[in-house]
Structure 1
Amino acid sequence: MSKVFFFNIPFHGHVNPSLGLAQELVKKGEKVIYYGIDSFKEKIESTGAEFRSYGDEFYLDDSFVTYNLTELFKVHMELTELIMDKLLCDIERDKPDYIVHDSLATWGKCAAAAAGIPAIDTFTTLVLAPDGFLLTIGFILSFAMAMITNIPNVLKIQKIRKDLKNKYNVRIESLVDILCNKQGLNLVYTSDLFQPNRQALGNEYKFIGPTSMFRKEAIPQFNIDKRGNRPLLFISMGTIFNNNREFFDKCTEAFGNMEMDVLMSVGKSIHIPSLSIPENFKVKPYNEIPQLEVLKECSIFMTHGGMNSTHEGLYNGVPLIIIPQQQEQAHVAMQVVRTKSGICLKNSKITPDLLKQSVEKIMSDHSYRENALKMRDSFIDAGGPERGVKEIFTYVKQKKIHFSVSEIGG
């Protein structure tokens, strides 16, 4: 049995897909010590892993939202500097055999490098460039503008980079590397078929398929209330972009008179009794809806295009209507359109008529359902957590042989 340190960032979109991998590692006999914050303790422990807190200095949680790239870089660098001593002390005491870290957990790569331990990177997003990050024209322009207009953040980031190099002999090659953290083995939670430009990526990327559906949802019994054979439309904008009252009002206007049932998930700040809810609607807070179970029953899934939600819909062969709320979701929506398993709507163009027309288009054109089923098959064929663990074991074994040879040679 080997010991594993698992580092992640405390967001549902990153923790949920990791749980299947952590659970499979435990199943195969590994002792997994999974770092997080207290709000994710129950989820993490449900895999059989040991939960360990990042500590009081770690200030990031799932309420953090920013569209400022330099602020994002700064936060990840600050957190790395804040907890490095703690992580290295834990490594010295517990002596893990290897580390698994999320692509955004900069401290995971830095701690592994400082301690000389094999590490595996996991991607919850699409890999859109050979260096593993979203280097599109839109990103490059946003990146350049952010650098110019946020000089204090840039100076802070550069200072921390220098301090990490001087204190721990850890090199962060570029700003992009802060949010990529590529390793010799990078597990990507999607399939080759859904990944754009797969041929441009090296063999160090292994596409193991989505894994968020392997998590356990601690939600009470839920009655979907489907009426006969009528189609079910499920509307959910995720856990962050779910408090837009105007959007929900457009949905009730668009679908109130249609011959279908509608289940709508809303955020905690939405006062449900204040909504004008049609007879064919059921509206609940997002944390009261077992999404994995609902998706097994629904005909169309309207979503913000988060990677987990998109994967979970397609894993059930459900066509998607995606309304992206930020750039990463727009990239996901592009792949849904490319694979013809759904359609994408611009948030700024949303009207009740457009929403209704989009649902009617999906319902009348059965090719969307057929293509969603093709994506489902590609996800299953990718191998999931079991394949991911096999790749990890192979890689760690190779690294140990390499280290042993190096020691003999030295």
Structure 2
Amino acid sequence: MSKVFFFSIPFSGHVNPGVGLAKELVKKGEEVIYYCTDSFKEKIESSGAVFRSYGSKFYLNDDFVTHNIIEILRVHLELSEIIMEQLHKDIKRDKPDYIVHDFMSTWGKHAARVSNIPAVNIYTTFVEKPKGFINTIGLVLAVAAMMLKNIPRMIDIRKISGRLKKKYNIKVKGLSDIIDNKEALTLVFTSHNFQPYSYKFGVNYKFVGPVSMYRNEKIKGFKLNKSEGRPLLFISLGTVFNNDREFFIKCIKAFGDMDIDVLMSVGKKIDISSLAIPENFTVKHFYEIPQLEVLNECDAFITHGGMNSVHEGLMFGIPLIVVPQQLEQAHMAKRVAETGCGIYLDMSEVTPESLKESYKKITSDDSYGKNAEKMKDSFLKAGGPERAAEEIFSYIKSIDRMT
């Protein structure tokens, strides 16, 4: 049995797949110590892993919502500095055999480097690659413009990088190095079929399929209101960008007069009592809904396009309407449309009419459901948590043979 330190960032889209992998590692006899924030303690412990808190100074949580990439980089680098001393002490005391870290857990890579411990990187979303010279130049120009607008944050990043180098000899090679924490082994939680341009990635990238749906998920007292013989539509904007009241009102107007049941998940800042809820609607806050249980029963899914939600919907063979709330989700929405598994509906195009029309289209055209089933097959063939664990063990053994 090996001892594993597991580092995630405190968002459901990152913790849920992490928990799926941790559960498999525990099942295979590993001792997993899983670092996160207290709000995920129960979920992490349900996997059999030992929960360990990042501590009171770690300030990242699901209230942190920003579209400013430079601010995200600054925060992740600062958090790495804040908790590095404690992580270094924990590693010296507990002597883990290897580390597994989320690709955005900057501190996971730093802790591995400082302690000279092998590490595995996990991708809970698509791996992004420039698709050509023009796109690369465009990306450089966009980043340059952001840097000019964020000079104080850039100064902070440089200062923090200097302190990390001085105290721990940690070298931050560039902005992308902060949240693209490459290792000799990277597990990507999707299939070759779904990952765009998967043929461009080398042997260090293993596409092991989704793992988030292998978590334990029970919410006490939840009851699904579904009439016999009527289709069920599930609507959710996820766990972060989910407080758009106008969007939810449009959904009510779109589906309130239809002969279907609707379960709608809303953000915690939405006052449900203030909504005019039709007879065929059930509206709950996102933390009151066991998504896997609902997806097992529903016929269509309107989603924000988070990686886990898309994978989980497709794993049940459900056609999707994807309404992305940010850039990463827009990439996901585009891929869903490209593979014929659903419809990409831009937020600027959302009206009650466009929502209803999209729903009618994916439920009347059999091709969407058939393509969703094909994608489900590709996910299952990729191997899931068992394949992910096998890749980790193989990698760690290869390192042991070289030492």
Q: TM-score surpassing 0.5? A: yes
2:55 matched residue in structure 1:
55
Equivalence for 1:385: 385
Deviation of 1:232 (Å): 1.1
In the alignment, does 2:185 pair up with 1:185?
yes
Q: Counterpart amino acid of 1:100?
A: V
* TM-score normalized by the length of structure 2: 0.96
Does residue 152 (structure 1) correspond to residue 146 (structure 2)? The answer is no
C-alpha separation between the residues in 2 aligned to 1:136 and 1:363?
A: 39
State the AA in 1 paired with 2:253: E
Residue by residue over 1:201-259, the C-alpha shift from the partner in whole angstroms, topping out at 9 and shown as x without a partner, is 11101111111111112302433222222211111111112221111111111111222
Q: Which residue of 2 aligns with 1:341?
A: 341
Structure 2 equivalent of residue 408 of structure 1? none
Q: Secondary structure at the match of 1:325?
A: coil
In the aligned structure 1, how far is the partner of 2:218 from the partner of 2:229? 28
Summarize the alignment of residues 87-126 of structure 1 with structure 2, pairs less than 5 Å apart: 87-126=87-126
Indicate the larger mover: 276-285 or 14-23.
276-285
Distance 1:247 1:126 in 2: 26
Q: Provide the residue aligned with 1:210 in structure 2.
A: 210
Shift of 1:24: 0.8
State the Cα distance separating 1:125 from its structure 2 match.
1.0
CA distance in 1, matches of 2:136, 2:214: 31
Residue 352 of structure 2: aligned partner: 352
- 1:89-127 deviation per Cα after TM superposition (whole angstroms, max 9, x unaligned): 111111110000000001110110111110000001101
Classify 1:254/1:295 alpha carbon distance in 2 versus 1 (closer, same or farther; 3 Å).
same
* TM-score, L = length of structure 1: 0.94
Aligned to 1:220, the other structure's residue is in SS state coil
Instruction: Give the letter for the 1:350 counterpart.
Output: V
Residue in structure 2 matched with residue 228 of structure 1 by the alignment: 228
* Letter of the 1:151 counterpart: I
Q: Which residue of 2 aligns with 1:69?
A: 69
Distance 2:326 2:138 in 1: 11
Deviation at 1:269, TM superposition (A): 2.1
Amino acid at match of 1:75: V
Distance of 2:166 and 2:54 partners within structure 1: 23
User: Which stretch of the first structure deviates more once superposed, 383-392 or 225-234?
Assistant: 225-234
Letter in 2 for 1:60: L
Aligned to 2:314: 314
Mapping 1:228-377, distance limit 5 Å: 228-377=228-377
| Cα distance, 1:163 vs structure 2 | 2.2
CA shift, 1:39, in A, is 0.9
* In 2, Cα distance between equivalents of 1:160 and 1:369: 49
Q: CA deviation at 1:335?
A: 0.8
**2: distance between equivalents of 1:72 and 1:188?**
22
Deviation for aligned residue 1:338? 1.0
Structure 2: gaps spanning 5 or more residues: none
Task: Provide the identity percentage.
Answer: 60
Deviations 1:34-59 (A, max 9, x none): 11111111111111111111122211
The Cα shift of 1:342 comes to: 0.3
1:62 partner letter: D
Q: Which moved more, 1:237-246 or 1:317-326?
A: 237-246
Report the Cα distance in structure 2 between the residues aligned to 1:81 and 1:96, rounded to whole angstroms: 20
1:394 and 1:308, CA in 2 relative to 1: closer, same or farther beyond 3 A? same
> How far apart are the structure 1 equivalents of 2:67 and 2:243?
18
Secondary structure, aligned partner of 1:372: helix
Secondary structure of the 1:309 match is helix
Contact 1:4 1:98 in 2 (8 A): yes
Aligned in 2, Cα 1:287/1:157: closer, same or farther, shift over 3 Å? Answer: same
* Aligned partner letter, 2:189: Y
CA distance in 2 between counterparts of 1:196 and 1:350 reads 26
Distance, in Å, in 1 between the alignment partners of 2:212 and 2:244 is 25
Contact 1:130 1:201 in 2 (8 A): no
Is this contact kept in 2: 1:130–1:200, CA < 8 A? no
Q: Decide which moves more: 136-145 or 151-160.
A: 136-145
Q: Cα deviation per residue 1:137-182 (whole Å; 9 max; x = unaligned)? A: 7754542221011111111112222222222222222210111101
Match of residue 198 from structure 1: 198
* Other structure's SS at 2:283 match: strand
**2:66 & 2:259 partners in 1: Cα distance?**
40
AA at the equivalent of 1:299: D
More deviation in 34-43 or 141-150?
A: 141-150
Distance change (3 Å), C-alpha of 1:281 and 1:139 = farther
Q: CA deviation at 1:83?
A: 1.1
Look up the match of 1:84: 84
Matched pairs, number: 400
- AA aligned to 1:105 is S
**Structure 1 unaligned regions, length at least 5:** 405-410
d(CA) in 2 for partners of 1:139, 1:235: 33
**Alpha-carbon distance in structure 2 between the residues aligned to 1:390 and 1:232:** 38
Aligned counterparts of 2:23 and 2:136: Cα–Cα separation in 1: 34
Structure 1's consecutive aligned runs of 4 or more residues displaced over 6 angstroms after TM superposition are: 135-138
Aligned-residue RMSD, C-alpha: 1.5
